[in-house]
Amino acid sequence: MRAEDDRKALEKEVKRWEASTLRNALESLPERRKEFVTTSSRPVRRLYTPLDLDGKADETRVGKPGEFPFTRGIHPTMYRGRLWTMRMFAGYGSAEDTNRRFKYLIAHGETGLSVAFDMPTLYGYDTDQPEAKGEFGTCGVAVSSPEDMRLLFHGIDVGQVSTSMTINSPAAVIWAMYLAAAEERKVPWSKLRGTIQNDILKEYQAQKEWIFPPEPSMRLVVDTFEFGSKQVPQWNTISISGYHIREAGATAGQELAFTLANGMEYVRWGVERGLRVDDFAPRLSFFFNAHNDLFEEIAKYRAARRIWAREMRDTFAAKNPRSWLLRFHAQTAGVSLTAQQPEVNIVRTTVQALAAVLGGTQSLHTNAYDEAYQVPNEAAARIALRTQQILAHESGVANTADPLGGSYFLEALTDELEDEAYQYFDRIQDLGGVIPAIRKGFFQQEIANSAYRYQREIEDKERVIVGVNDFVVDEQPEVEPLRVTEASLKAQVERLRRLRRTRDAKKHEHALDRLRKACEGDENTMPFILDAVRAKATLGEVIDVMREVFGVWEEPLLY
């Protein structure tokens, strides 16, 4: 009764405000626009009050940090205990080039590594294969062999630092190279910490770095879950990624919904393999975008944690609280960077990074201001890292858990995003699940539609992008170029040829034969991939074997 009376009193109070104070204000100064919307075109009301929560924001939905449903964060103390990991995505040219960049970033205070691979590596081609022509090292580092992997981490203590690797279709192979390199350096696998992205579903939906069809790809993913849970217990065997879904054009709600739908699909596949959910779920991690709209982004992270905790506990019957935790990495929105007045990107990135921190991220990459032109140069990468350090040490936002929790606006947005996600879950289920929906082009079309609408809004100036469709200046931007050298390419090709010349040919052939048989059967492929890598097989050679057995994916064409 009491709550009902309070609500009525509040309704009355809001009506009074609308009829008096607000009306007078609108008469003297009308609002700037008819409708206010978020970056994702979600309508935003003039004022939020407890009425917008309507009993939803009770303790069971919001809770306390470190407790179910983790809306306010996964740790009780959040950044008071430990700051997020400052993990700068880096890679260009050869392993030596990128190793230098890693050491530069570590010297300037980054606290975790993150490897960007070049296109041939992402597609499982060696640098000297014809398909790789022109693509060596341009948007990441080329890793064609265990030898490249060794050089990439030369002089870096892999038993200490955690390493994230953005690699998907060939994830098992690249991971095997990392494991083999650690083995060679006598670092036990039990000490290794890091993440392979390994999220193939979003490749079909958005990032498009696929090789094999969905079923064998999912098998490889579950192979890594199974292998990792037994042999590399501190490793995150997947980073279920909304980042690329968003970059390809999705709204915040679509990013949230598709990512979590994919996450649940991986859990289903793991369970169907016969794994116990609590054996692998604690090593599932996530990766989200941090776009321009501060509150919408924060709400997205909070909704994600709440949905995941509930689904893992109630739908998948996970008993270990660690299985309920949605731990995530965030990256500021590459797609928001402008080629016009590029230095202004530093400000955009700051706002986006702030959203990730206020949303409780575990790890963060901040983009450099020159990335609408190229892979960042050193100076630009350092400013990006400094942006995080300012948020951590100067802004004060890391002093308390979930600082915006309880804001009527934020809690209402969190609820709305959660509702939108569940609506999408139903639609995906109606299409037969995630993989059938991929085959029908559902996600791809939803994303393309959102991308087109966003672009039209910019064209029609319904949306202002500073420096692009307003506040424009006529000047030639100056960006210090970063170039991959011919010398790096030559050295890389020479290294590959030497490796093929000097390895034990018999051992190599035998390992690839055994791998082929494992792929044809239903054994876990990881031990065979590891043996192939130990026998100095290159990435291209291993993937060629798999491509022959598994076939290749052809995507539905649409725009």
Partner 1 sequence: MPKKIRVLIAKPGLDGHDRGAKVVARALRDAGMEVIYTGLRQTPEDIVEAAIQEDVDAIGLSCLSGAHMTLFPEVVKLLKKRKSGDILVAGGGIIPEADIPKLKKAGIKIVFGPGTPLRDIVAFFETAGKGA
Summarize as ranges the residues that interact with partner 1 (CB under 8 A): 119-120, 122-123, 125, 131-135, 138-139, 203, 207-209, 247-249, 335, 337-340, 372-375, 448, 451-452, 455-456, 459, 465, 467-469, 476-477, 479, 481, 484, 555, 557, 559
Whose Cβ is closer to partner 1: residue 160's or residue 476's?
A: 476
CB of 545 to partner 1, least distance (A): 20
> E strands, 147-223, where?
163-166, 194-196
CB 14, min distance to partner 1, A = 42
Tell me the C-alpha to C-alpha distance, in Å, between residue 73 and each of 66, 162, 298, 326, 425. 6, 22, 11, 9, 24
First to last CA, the chain: 54
Token pair of 155, please? 């002089």
Residue closer to partner 1 (CB basis): 95 or 132: 132
Question: How far is the C-alpha of 348 from the C-alpha of 357, rounded, in Å?
Answer: 15
Nearer to partner 1, 344 or 431 (CB): 344
Report in angstroms how near the CB of residue 291 gets to partner 1 at its nearest. 14
Closer Cβ to partner 1, 139 or 549, answer by number? 139
Q: Nearest approach, Cβ of 430 to partner 1 (angstroms)?
A: 25
Q: Is 10 in a helix, a strand, or coil?
A: helix
Token pair for 380: 């630009």
CA 277 to CA 205: how far, in whole Å? 25
Nearest-approach distance from CB 386 to partner 1, in angstroms? 24
Backbone torsions φ then ψ of 477, nearest 5 degrees = -65, 145
* Identity of the residue, 341 or 407, whose beta carbon is nearer to partner 1 in the bound complex: 341
Structure tokens at 148: 């490249």
Nearest Cα to Cα of residue 410 among 84, 62, 74 = 62
Choice between 121 and 195, CB closer to partner 1 = 121
Residues in contact with 336: Cβ distance below 8 Å, sequence separation at least 6, in sequence order? 291, 292, 345, 348, 352
Q: What are phi and psi of 319, to 5 degrees?
A: -100, -30
Residue 432 CB, nearest approach to partner 1 (Å): 24
Closest separation in Å from C-beta 410 to partner 1: 29
104 or 373: CB nearest partner 1 = 373
* Both tokens assigned to 377: 């140069």
Q: In the numeric block, which tokens belong to residue 305? A: 């944690």
Cα(344)–Cα(96) distance, rounded to whole angstroms? 31
Least CB distance from residue 500 to partner 1, whole Å? Answer: 22
Instruction: State which residue, 45 or 456, has the beta carbon closest to partner 1.
Output: 456
Nearer to partner 1 by Cβ, of 90 and 309: the residue is: 90
Residue owning tokens 């992402």: 122
Provide the minimum distance between the beta carbon of 448 and partner 1 in the complex, in angstroms, as a whole number.
5
- Cα dist from 33 to 207, 413, 463, whole Å: 35, 21, 11
The answer to whether the beta carbons of residues 200 and 150 sit under 8 Å apart is: no
Q: Half-sphere exposure of 7 toward its Cβ, with a 13 Å CA cutoff?
A: 9
Q: Give yes or no for a contact between 262 and 199, defined as CB atoms under 8 angstroms apart.
A: yes
Angstrom distance (rounded) from CA 229 to CA 277: 11
Using the minimum distance from each CB to partner 1, give the nearer residue, 477 or 527: 477
**Nearest-approach distance from CB 443 to partner 1, in angstroms:** 13
Nearest distance in Å: CB 544, partner 1: 16
Three-state DSSP state, 195 = strand
Neighbours of 154 (CB within 10 A): 13
- Residue that has been written with the tokens 């079309």 in this structure: 445
The rounded radius of gyration (Å) of the Cα atoms in the chain is 24
Minimum distance, C-beta of residue 476 to partner 1, in the bound complex (Å): 7
Specify the residue, 29 or 557, whose C-beta has the smaller distance to partner 1: 557
The encoded tokens of residue 478 equal 């100056």
Task: Choose between 241 and 361: whose C-beta lies nearer to partner 1.
Answer: 241
